[in-house]
Chain A
Amino acid sequence: MKYKAQILDKEGIRRALTRIAHEIIERNKGTEGLALIGIRRRGVPLAERLAAKILEIEGSTVPVGTLDITLYRDDLPTLDQQPLVHRTEVPFPVSDKKIVLVDDVIYTGRTIRAALDALMDLGRPRVIQLAVLVDRGHRELPIRADYVGKNVPTSRREVVAVRLQETDGEERVLILEKD
């Protein structure tokens, strides 16, 4: 894979998340009944960071959960390598909550479809919103994000690589091109 461009640096990621945190509070008129759920893997640290920012801004703690969508994927029979299943950890009831799903990149929309199914199996949230760090287009399903850190028009040959301190030891978002 070939390096093409850097679209966000450490500061850029920080600013994008700060803005999203403000937007979440604004749109939901505070944090009453609010909860964040990160989609494994990189949605999880992003959800935790958003919760920390919301605490900083509003002074209230928002619960954070982790969703593993492997068992809900629609492409399992077509994969060469079977993905490892990880734990879903949502330590609060989701029913009647305002849930913000958090992921790093939205692309075809299939991951979010799977996440919506997984979430519905845990209960019946009042509303589900979606926050992503990068929207790279090419949707295959009628799904859009409510909060977007950065819109990046890409070609299908390109890959958006989000690197976070917690998972990758560095902090930036890159566009790579498949060889």
Chain B
Amino acid sequence: MNWKRKDLLGLQNLSAEEIKLILDTAVPMKEILGRAIKKVPTLRGRTVVTLFYEPSTRTRTSFELAAKYLSADSVNISTSTSSVVKGETLKDTARTLAAMGADVVILRHPMAGAPNLLARTIRAAVINAGDGAHEHPTQALLDLFTVREKKGGLAGLNVAIIGDILHSRVARSNIWGFTKMGARVRICGPATMIPPEIEATGVQVCTRIEEALDGADVVMMLRIQLERQQRGLFPSIREYARLFGLNRERLALARSGALVMHPGPINRGVEIAPEVADGINSVINEQVTNGVAVRMALLYLLSGGGMPDA
């Protein structure tokens, strides 16, 4: 199949076939990352802009490296040092970037739906690098890629996603992605952090972590967003760690060889015990490497042949 979309806004609207094409394209991209000279001339003369309204190190750097490895020119704009502080709207900022010749705009924004608005405004390709609590499609794609690479496939796997599902765009994108690819997803977390009617997406809700871990092939731990815990959705960090933290004893409930994943950054000792985060089941560092390969694949698909000039 061929890629026909102008933008990548989320996994909810992608078909399993489109997800497969992205993952398949990331395989040769990963081979490039293993070379002494990690650079191919594919996107020479193209410009990729990362526009981040929220702080991020790994996602932004990952996109920037992906662009550089494909020989695109990349520019980073963080809103604290741009005209956004003077009150410029998202639309105007984006139009300015497009007028300067940006071919791809990668947007992280605290408001859900901001990338969709941008995609309708400019002709450049838009990639959602996380919008509010809505979606974080590239993180989910790198998770899917990592699991497929390690397990040889996705269909039929049991995936447990544990933590703050309600506020997690990573969880949301992963739920769409894994279920579309034929995996069974169980979610678990404090009742205050489980979105209402989430079962409609096809996931199974577990109230106890032991239930979610039982027979799991993949255990995905989510970061407790300590900075967003002022509202107090659980009594204390200690209690959270005791009830929902992943330690060695609990991991033993999962299948042997189960993958331990985390989108980072990790709160060691809160959602995940240090010995599990660094243990043999952990693929956390590989997730980071695979993130670059998946983002290279997306930049290739979104800005390669057949795209009208922006």
A residues apposed to B, CB below 8 Å = 68, 71-72, 75-89, 117-118, 121-123
Shortest CB-to-CB span from B89 to chain A, Å, is: 31
A84 touching B40, Cβ below 8 Å: no
- CA separation between A68 and B24, bound complex, in Å? 14
Whether A85 contacts B28 in the complex (CB less than 8 A), given A71-B40, A72-B40, A72-B41, comes out as yes
Give the residues from 7 to 57 in chain B that come closer than 8 angstroms, CB to CB, to chain A.
21, 24-25, 27-29, 31-32, 35-37, 39-42
8 Å CB contact of B31 from A76, A81, A88: A88
By a CB distance below 8 angstroms, the chain A residues around B2 are 81-82
B232 at the interface (CB under 8 A from A): no
- CA separation between A123 and B37, bound complex, in Å? 8
B28 touching A86, Cβ below 8 Å: yes
By a CB distance below 8 angstroms, the chain A residues around B37 are 121-122
* Given A71-B28, A72-B42, 8 other A-B residues pairs in contact with their CB atoms under 8 A: A72-B40, A76-B305, A80-B305, A81-B305, A83-B305, A86-B28, A118-B40, A121-B35
B residues apposed to A, CB below 8 Å = 2-3, 21, 24-25, 27-29, 31-32, 35-37, 39-42, 70, 297, 300-301, 304-307
Majority-rule SS of A interface residues: loop
Whether A87 contacts B305 in the complex (CB less than 8 A), given A71-B41, A121-B40, comes out as no
- CA separation between A83 and B304, bound complex, in Å? 9
* 4 pairs of A and B residues whose beta carbons are closest in the complex: A79-B305, A71-B40, A82-B305, A71-B42
8 Å CB contact of B306 from A82, A86, A88, A122: A82
B306 touching A87, Cβ below 8 Å: no
What are 22 A-B interface contacts by the 8 Å CB criterion?
A68-B28, A71-B41, A71-B42, A71-B70, A71-B300, A72-B41, A72-B42, A75-B305, A76-B305, A78-B305, A80-B306, A82-B2, A82-B3, A82-B304, A83-B305, A85-B25, A85-B300, A86-B28, A87-B27, A117-B41, A121-B39, A121-B40
By a CB distance below 8 angstroms, the chain A residues around B301 are 82
Name B71's closest neighbour in chain A (CB-CB).
Answer: A71
- CA separation between A165 and B269, bound complex, in Å? 58
Shortest CB-to-CB span from B35 to chain A, Å, is: 7
8 Å CB contact of B36 from A81, A84, A123: A123
Shortest CB-to-CB span from B108 to chain A, Å, is: 26
- CA separation between A80 and B307, bound complex, in Å? 8
Name B36's closest neighbour in chain A (CB-CB).
Answer: A123
By a CB distance below 8 angstroms, the chain A residues around B31 are 87-89
By a CB distance below 8 angstroms, the chain B residues around A84 are 21, 24-25
A76 touching B24, Cβ below 8 Å: no
- CA separation between A129 and B27, bound complex, in Å? 29
Shortest CB-to-CB span from A84 to chain B, Å, is: 7
Name A93's closest neighbour in chain B (CB-CB).
Answer: B36
Shortest CB-to-CB span from A160 to chain B, Å, is: 23
By a CB distance below 8 angstroms, the chain A residues around B3 are 82
- CA separation between A2 and B127, bound complex, in Å? 44
Name, among A71, A79, A85, A121, the residue most crowded by chain B CB atoms within 10 Å (CB to CB): A85
By a CB distance below 8 angstroms, the chain B residues around A86 are 28
- CA separation between A22 and B61, bound complex, in Å? 51
- CA separation between A172 and B179, bound complex, in Å? 45
Whether A76 contacts B304 in the complex (CB less than 8 A), given A84-B25, A85-B25, A88-B28, comes out as yes
By a CB distance below 8 angstroms, the chain A residues around B29 are 85
By a CB distance below 8 angstroms, the chain B residues around A88 are 28, 31
By a CB distance below 8 angstroms, the chain A residues around B42 are 71-72, 76
- CA separation between A85 and B304, bound complex, in Å? 11
Name, among B39, B300, B305, the residue most crowded by chain A CB atoms within 10 Å (CB to CB): B305
By a CB distance below 8 angstroms, the chain B residues around A82 are 2-3, 300-301, 304-306
By a CB distance below 8 angstroms, the chain A residues around B297 are 85
B36 touching A77, Cβ below 8 Å: no
- CA separation between A121 and B301, bound complex, in Å? 22
Shortest CB-to-CB span from B104 to chain A, Å, is: 14
Name, among A72, A76, A80, the residue most crowded by chain B CB atoms within 10 Å (CB to CB): A76
- CA separation between A76 and B42, bound complex, in Å? 8
- CA separation between A154 and B297, bound complex, in Å? 37
